[in-house]
Structure 1
Amino acid sequence: MNLPIIHRVKHTKTVQWQKPDDGWMKLNTDASVMKEGAGIGDVIQDPEGAAIVAFSHSIKKDNIHLLELDAIYHGLHQVVSKNLKKIWVEFDSMMAVKTIEGHFPCPWKRASTVEKIKNLLSKCETWKISHIWREGNGAADYLSKWNCPIKGEQCDNFPDDFSLILCNDASGTLYPRV
């Protein structure tokens, strides 16, 4: 049998955490559901990639889409409490982006959360939201699985693994996505 041999080449895509423009802050959020429970994590970074605020805490298990919305709300609450005016909100749930933008139906269980998110965004001078692949959302992903409160103002108290992620992001590390 003379069958043609087809070689498929896997192309590795890369993902990179992008720094916000001068005068802007960036909020990355994530939620995780694990065997032991669920958690959310949020990190606000300045244009140099330094963490201004970072936190993590346990949350009641639920649908991951609903938890992602909770994480965004929690992070935006921190943005407003810090009186940050120009904010770029980024997370790895395309469904949450589309829900907030009104392109995807809002689950009734979180309709009030989405309204609160929109209200918090309205308190900012300028804002934008975007999706990033999980590989580029490593700091928030790490915090969502850590489930231990930390304070962003005390950067020397961050775990080494978390600090390394922040350094890699700030230096423009390309993360592989296959």
Structure 2
Amino acid sequence: MWKNPNDGAFHGVNKTLSAPSLLQAVKIRAELGWKAWNAPSPLMGRMNSPRNRIEVQVGWKPPSVGWTKLNVDGAASANSGIAGASGLLRGADGSWISGFVAGVGSCSAICSELWAIFHGLKMAWRHDCRTLIVETDSQLAIQLVKDRSHPLHPYAALLMAIRRLLAQDWIVNLVHVYREGNRVADWLSKHSLVYPYGTHELETPPHELLQLLQDDAEGATFARLIIPSPGSPHL
């Protein structure tokens, strides 16, 4: 309610909404905040009783032959508000195909995760990857992409752009992974915060990533405590 008139006063954006539309916009933003608040997080995991958790080994797994894997991640600085996105493509042998970092301006952490999916899909299409697995450690980002969002949703335009990319003539599986299986994209996302606005493709990996890439290719795993879901093979 406060932001709507300020957009017109300070940014020249005239979005005069009727009372019902304004209330709907407030409702959508409240629902988004509620989803983010209730999304699984390491902090919530620590609040659960250890008796309800089991230890599993988590690591990056290469795609099957004929498939390409895209790992993506986003980051937002709590101090500056600057956000970035990143991703990388790898084949069945774990080899680097391409990567990117992107400065996406000032936005929330979940918005940076969506930008990472968007830019990652565009990169994969440019590289003729037509059978693709997309891995992200943000369950909320996957949920937002798969759910039908209202036109007044704060990320509606970005979500529609992602869905248009997904609707192209290819096979794309969007999958959640734990952070231990997304370490390279996580490193790149933090690295992206120092880049200027825009997308910067990386034909070769930064030298600092070589050890992480080798660990992934060799099947390195890391212990993580999880709460198994019903029907989980770990039960």
- 1:16-43 deviation digits (Å, cap 9, x = unpaired): 2111111111111000112343221111
Q: Distance in 2 between matches of 1:150 and 1:70?
A: 13
Query: Higher Cα Rg: structure 1 or 2?
Result: 2
What does residue 33 of structure 1 align with? 76
Aligned length: 168
Counterpart residue type for residue 51 of structure 1: W
Q: Give RMSD over aligned pairs.
A: 2.3
- Check whether the contact 1:95–1:104 (CA below 8 A) recurs between aligned residues: no
What does residue 101 of structure 2 align with? 56
Q: Distance in 2 between matches of 1:53 and 1:174?
A: 23
Q: Distance in 1 between matches of 2:106 and 2:162?
A: 20
Q: What residue ranges of structure 2 are gaps of 5+ in the alignment?
A: 1-49, 226-235
What does residue 30 of structure 2 align with? none
Counterpart residue type for residue 215 of structure 2: N
What does residue 214 of structure 2 align with? 167
What does residue 19 of structure 1 align with? 62
Q: Provide closer, same or farther for how the CA distance between residues 43 and 107 of structure 1 changes in structure 2, counting only shifts above 3 A.
A: farther
Q: Distance in 1 between matches of 2:74 and 2:145?
A: 16
TM-score, length basis structure 2: 0.64
Q: What residue ranges of structure 1 are gaps of 5+ in the alignment?
A: 1-7
TM-score, length basis structure 1: 0.83
- 1:47-82 deviation digits (Å, cap 9, x = unpaired): 111111112132223221111111100100101112
Counterpart residue type for residue 161 of structure 2: K
Which structure features the higher share of helix residues? 2
- Check whether the contact 1:121–1:127 (CA below 8 A) recurs between aligned residues: yes
Say which SS state the counterpart of residue 60 (structure 1) adopts: strand
Q: Distance in 2 between matches of 1:90 and 1:106?
A: 26
- 1:132-165 deviation digits (Å, cap 9, x = unpaired): 011110011000011258654334xx223x1111
Q: Distance in 2 between matches of 1:135 and 1:105?
A: 33
Counterpart residue type for residue 153 of structure 1: E
